Amino acid sequence: MRDPADSTARSSAAGTIASARRSRLAAFLDSDLLHSFLSSRLVVLAALVSVLIVGAAVLAPLIAPHDPYDLKSLSLLDANTPPAWEQGGDPNYLLGTDDQGRDILSTILFGTRSSLAIGFCSVLLASALGLSLGLWAGYVGGRVDTIIMRIADVQLTFPAILTALLIDGVALAILRHHTVEGGKFSILVLAIGLSFWVQYARTVRGVTLVERNKEYVEAARLIGIGPLKIMFQHILPNVLGPVLVIATINLALAIITEATLSFLGVGLPPTEPSLGTMIQVGNKYLFSGSWWMVAFPGLTLALLALAVNLLGDWLRDALNPKLR
Amino acid sequence: MTSKSLLKAAAALLVLALAGSTADARGVKWARSGDALTLDPHAQNEGPTHNVLHLIYEPLILRDRTGKLLPTLAISWRATEDPTVWEFKLRQGVTFHDGSAFNADDVTFSLERALQANSDMKGLLTFIETVSKIDDFTVHIKTKGPNPLVPNYLTNLFMMSKKWSQANNTVTVQDYKEKKDNFAVRNANGTGPYVLVAREQDVRTQLRRNEDYWGKGEFPLGVSEITYLTIKSDATRIAALLSGEVDFVQDVPVQDIDRLEKTPGIKVNFGPENRTIFLGLDVASPELKSSNIKGKNPFADKQVRQALNMAIDREAIKRVVMRGQSIPAGVIAPPFVNGYPKELDRLPKVDLAQAKALLQQAGFADGFQVTLNCPNDRYVNDEGICQAVTAMLAKIGVKVNLVAQPKGPHFTLIQKNPPETEFYLLGWGVPTYDSHYIFSFLYHTRSGREGGWNGTRYSNSALDSKIENLAAEIDVVKRNAAIADIWKALSEETIYLALHHQQLAYAMKSELDIPVSPDNQVHMKFIAAK
């Protein structure tokens, strides 16, 4: 836990900060967190897989052999090509092509990129919204608290995917005649973000309720610091731990939700496939023997979700003093 | 419930129980990708909707699988001495499912109902002046001019009970475009071979054989119960057939035909459909809402339409998307149709360089953006076709934003007035087997009874009067010459971009034998049980 005096110390000489940073790095290298991370092979493996997939996705435009979003480059005559090692395969298309002639490998790289981008952005949105509302509810209390928390309770009674579908549907209906570049991306971020904020708000509110009566908060209030500053500068750092854990687990959930929405046909359009869209398309060809269309994107999604989930689980356990 | 109707219900139950114990009883679970849009017999002129309605309701005349006109609720018809008056003799002793008798009042009521403003069938009845009852089993239809094709237009016109409609407040046709509802949308009372038992829109429709059917003994009627299921996902639909959960799949995805043919216990029947798949373009609005070009409508320029036509590789669509199950087309008339212009059914040569040059001449050297609306549960691989077209048009700089959705909302976009789509995929089947049906629905200015499916906003008064004159031309030679003339004029306009004539495959358990009909209408009463 950070000492409230820390913030006053910030105004002192820059040299002290630098040395504090160095000592913090040293403290991290020596910490329980790193130790527990390195002691579990599974977690290290999960981290490696996540880094690999995220890295490949980020670098997609550089490393992908084809640009699957460039419709000009598609040729229908290359469609349904099996993976290179199968009979009839083409070394140009390592993992084969889909029903429109898109290279599966490149599409997976680009699709993971969209899936991850939507996942990250919606987790950011959900956590920002949840954090602010939770802090507000917890710190101010009273009627504000009641209203925010009852809304949260109502939303909790619906599965997140249902809320996401609802928001997605409404947004699409409104935007039906106005096609905005990247509009679908924002709609998905909004839909997924708005369906996951509740967990953050409840957790943050709980911690805030405890923190707001602590002496450092009272001291801050006594010297006349405004409530906004107290909330965000003094209480916030103390609730970040649990928020980080929720965010990691939510990232996997958000990616799966995006895939589900795309699978149901309300996500990213078929011309800009994400992992979910690819699985939906491949699913049509399950019985005709074109297994590669669904197998590779499915495997990628499963691996990614599993790895991120494992990391999230580990983080939760590592940060929970009761489990140590 | 009165004691009389209770008695009837008990009797019906007894009959059902007896029927269930006989050897010929066979239930068929029948899966399609999309459901009937409504059960109101006159609200939608759409294949799958009619497919379900044909089980419950009947027209005066039915077109059988071979294209022959079969007396159904009418036993005979003829043009009288006055060639503008047609006489229909009705079948006696026919009852509706509620037990009431069928007579001429129901015919005049049904035809008049089908002429109402909300009716989607009115475009088939443009020739009607008046309908009158002569006696209980004779009806006269007075036409606006002599029309030799009157019987052809009646094969999908279902007869409702006047009394039932009045009692249930369904005298007015459902306004489908405005998402209105009425009693006839969910309930049905026809004279047909099957009785509606239960229906859940887009999920399942349960029907049982009508044991009081007039055609008992005349038709095989081997299927005693029908469960009509909507299974949208291709893989799920085929999995259901492979696992034995359903008996018959009417919309077989082309990629699964090979596998199904190799599976023991499953049979696949093939046949051409009387239907052409094409793209419609908004050729008349001052600007396209979905385009980045403002103040100008690229599609209004014939050169642009020709450029698009040249960029689409129909042979590639046939080979890859349709896996051979299509005949690439240059006109939107299927070969079954009278007046089919064979010499015009040539494929435009795929020529990207010339297409680009045409776009440049039209002032769109950098291409333009537009939204393409596409159904995803109606035609064979409809969404796949749209995706392929999207990629082909990208090659000449036309950036297509593809919106694929189920047929219900998709068709509404085309039928709304003014239409809410500027570029769309549609397939048009021709139940009358005559070109006039295509002209009247797809090319005539949208007004009154005509142009109901013309989403292109195309309007040409000279053409309109030519189309109207067709309806009154009885000299077959002259009439066919006029049809040829219209097709020629239209082919120069390129209002629609024809893609292909659709081929069909039905898959079923091998103990069933359901042949493909060019109408893609499965009349279960003709099916025997083994």
- Across residues B74-101, what is the average pLDDT? 95
The C-alpha atoms of residue A39 and residue A33 are separated, in whole angstroms, by 10
Least confident of A207-216, B50-59, B73-82, B198-207: A207-216
Please give the full DSSP string across B413-435, using - where no structure is assigned.
HHHSSS-S-SEEEEEEE-TT-BH
How many H helices and E strands in chain A? 15, 0
Return the pLDDT at A321.
Answer: 64
Six-digit token string for A61: 């435009």
Of B149, B188, B157, B187, which Cα lies nearest the Cα of B74? B157
The C-alpha atoms of residue B104 and residue B112 are separated, in whole angstroms, by 12
The answer to whether B402 contacts A271, with C-beta atoms less than 8 Å apart, is yes
The answer to whether A100 contacts B387, with C-beta atoms less than 8 Å apart, is yes
Strand pairing class (B248-249; B27-32): parallel
The answer on pLDDT for A4 being more than 70 is no
Q: Which among B233, B235, B390 is the nearest to A271, CB-wise?
A: B390
- Cβ-in-10-Å burial (0-12, 13-18, 19+) of A246 comes to buried
Of B423, B202, B385, B289, which Cα lies nearest the Cα of A270? B385
Q: Which among B239, B258, B390 is the nearest to A71, CB-wise?
A: B390
A73: closest chain B residue by CA = B395
Residues B224, B24 contacting (CB under 8 angstroms): yes
The C-alpha atoms of residue A215 and residue A192 are separated, in whole angstroms, by 38
Residues of chain B in Cβ contact (below 8 Å) with chain A: 233-235, 238-239, 242, 253, 255-256, 258-259, 289-290, 313, 316-317, 319-321, 369, 371, 376, 383-384, 387-388, 390-392, 394-395, 401-404, 420
Residues B278, B430 contacting (CB under 8 angstroms): no
The answer on pLDDT for B15 being more than 50 is no
- Across residues B145-173, what is the average pLDDT? 94
The single-letter DSSP state of residue B321 is I
> Strands, DSSP E only, in chain A?
none
The answer to whether B290 contacts A71, with C-beta atoms less than 8 Å apart, is no
pTM, full prediction: 0.82
Residues B227, B32 contacting (CB under 8 angstroms): no
Closest approach of chain A CAs to the CA of B234, in angstroms? 6
Averaging pLDDT over each range in A63-72, A271-280, B125-134, which range is the top one? B125-134
pLDDT digits over A218-260, tens only?
899 899 888 888 888 888 888 888 888 899 889 999 999 998 9
Residues B235, A284 contacting (CB under 8 angstroms): yes
What backbone torsions phi and psi does residue B399 show, to the nearest 5 degrees?
Answer: -90, 110
Return the pLDDT at A83.
Answer: 93
The answer to whether B384 contacts A99, with C-beta atoms less than 8 Å apart, is yes
Q: Calculate the dihedral angle through the C-alpha atoms of B206, B211, B217, B218, rounding to the nearest 10 degrees.
A: -60
Return the pLDDT at B327.
Answer: 95
Residues A276, A285 contacting (CB under 8 angstroms): no
The answer on pLDDT for B19 being more than 50 is no
Q: How high does pLDDT run on average in chain B?
A: 91
Return the pLDDT at A180.
Answer: 56
- Across residues A66-85, what is the average pLDDT? 88
Q: Calculate the dihedral angle through the C-alpha atoms of B505, B508, B513, B519, rounding to the nearest 10 degrees.
A: -40
| CA dist A126 → A166, A243, A253, B160 (Å) | 16, 11, 12, 55
Alpha helices in A264-324 (DSSP H): 275-283, 292-319
pLDDT digits over B94-116, tens only?
999 999 999 999 999 999 999 99
The H or E element containing residue B42 is none
CB pairs under 8 A between A and B: 79
A280: closest chain B residue by CA = B233
Please give the full DSSP string across A114-144, using - where no structure is assigned.
HHHHHHHHHHHHHHHHHHHHHHHHHHH-HHH
pLDDT digits over A260-308, tens only?
988 887 888 778 888 988 998 898 888 888 899 999 999 999 999 999 9
- The residues that bridge with B374 in the sheet, in sequence order, are B404
Residues B109, B207 contacting (CB under 8 angstroms): no
- Across residues A63-91, what is the average pLDDT? 89
What backbone torsions phi and psi does residue B335 show, to the nearest 5 degrees?
Answer: -60, -15
**C-alpha A197 chain-centroid distance:** 12
Return the pLDDT at B141.
Answer: 96
Strand pairing class (B368-375; B398-405): parallel
Cα angle value B506/B508/B509 (rounded, 5°)? 165
| CA dist A256 → A261, A271, A298, A302 (Å) | 9, 20, 11, 9
B311: closest chain A residue by CA = A72
Q: Calculate the dihedral angle through the C-alpha atoms of A81, A87, A90, A91, rounding to the nearest 10 degrees.
A: 140
Residues in chain B with CB shorter than 8 Å from the CB of A72 are 391, 394-395
Least confident of A169-183, A221-235, A287-301, B386-400: A169-183
The answer on pLDDT for B292 being more than 70 is yes
Return the pLDDT at B5.
Answer: 55
Return the pLDDT at A27.
Answer: 72
Return the pLDDT at A8.
Answer: 46
- Across residues B114-135, what is the average pLDDT? 93
Q: Which among B238, B242, B313 is the nearest to A76, CB-wise?
A: B313
Residues B183, B168 contacting (CB under 8 angstroms): yes
**C-alpha B255 chain-centroid distance:** 24
What backbone torsions phi and psi does residue B373 show, to the nearest 5 degrees?
Answer: -95, 135
pLDDT digits over A38-57, tens only?
888 899 999 999 999 999 99
Of how many residues is chain A composed?
324
Report the SS3 class of residue B457. Answer: coil
- Across residues B123-148, what is the average pLDDT? 92
The answer on pLDDT for B9 being more than 70 is no
Strand pairing class (B61-63; B496-509): unpaired
Strand pairing class (B423-429; B398-405): unpaired
Return the pLDDT at A77.
Answer: 86
Residues in chain B with CB shorter than 8 Å from the CB of A184 are none
Q: Which among B289, B388, B420 is the nearest to A100, CB-wise?
A: B388
The H or E element containing residue B473 is none
Of B304, B400, B390, which Cα lies nearest the Cα of B355? B304
**C-alpha A22 chain-centroid distance:** 30
The answer to whether B383 contacts A72, with C-beta atoms less than 8 Å apart, is no
Q: How high does pLDDT run on average in chain A?
A: 85
Give me the helix-helix angle, A104-140 and A236-263, nearest 10°.
140
A78: closest chain B residue by CA = B320
The answer to whether A77 contacts B238, with C-beta atoms less than 8 Å apart, is no
B289: closest chain A residue by CA = A177
Please give the full DSSP string across B146-202, using - where no structure is assigned.
--TTGGGGGTT-B---HHHHHHTT--SPP-TTTT---HHHH----SSSEEEEEEETT
Q: State ipTM.
A: 0.74
Of A195, A320, A306, A310, which Cα lies nearest the Cα of A258? A195
The answer to whether A270 contacts B404, with C-beta atoms less than 8 Å apart, is yes
The answer on pLDDT for A139 being more than 80 is yes
The answer to whether A99 contacts B320, with C-beta atoms less than 8 Å apart, is yes
Other beta carbons within 10 Å of B511 = 11
Closest approach of chain B CAs to the CA of A121, in angstroms? 24
Closest approach of chain B CAs to the CA of A303, in angstroms? 24
Return the pLDDT at B424.
Answer: 97
Question: B110-147: b or e for each residue (b if 16 or more CB lie within 10 Å)?
Answer: bbbbbbeebbbbbbbbbbbeebebeeebebbbebeebb
Return the pLDDT at A7.
Answer: 46
Closest approach of chain A CAs to the CA of B216, in angstroms? 40
Of B163, B161, B184, which Cα lies nearest the Cα of B172? B184
B319: closest chain A residue by CA = A77
Portion of chain B with pLDDT greater than 70, in percent: 95
The answer to whether B376 contacts A72, with C-beta atoms less than 8 Å apart, is no
Q: How confident is the model at residue B7 (pLDDT cuts 50, 70, 90)?
A: low
Placement of tokens 């009874």 in the chain: B449
pLDDT digits over B454-503, tens only?
999 999 999 999 999 987 788 889 999 999 999 999 988 999 999 999 99
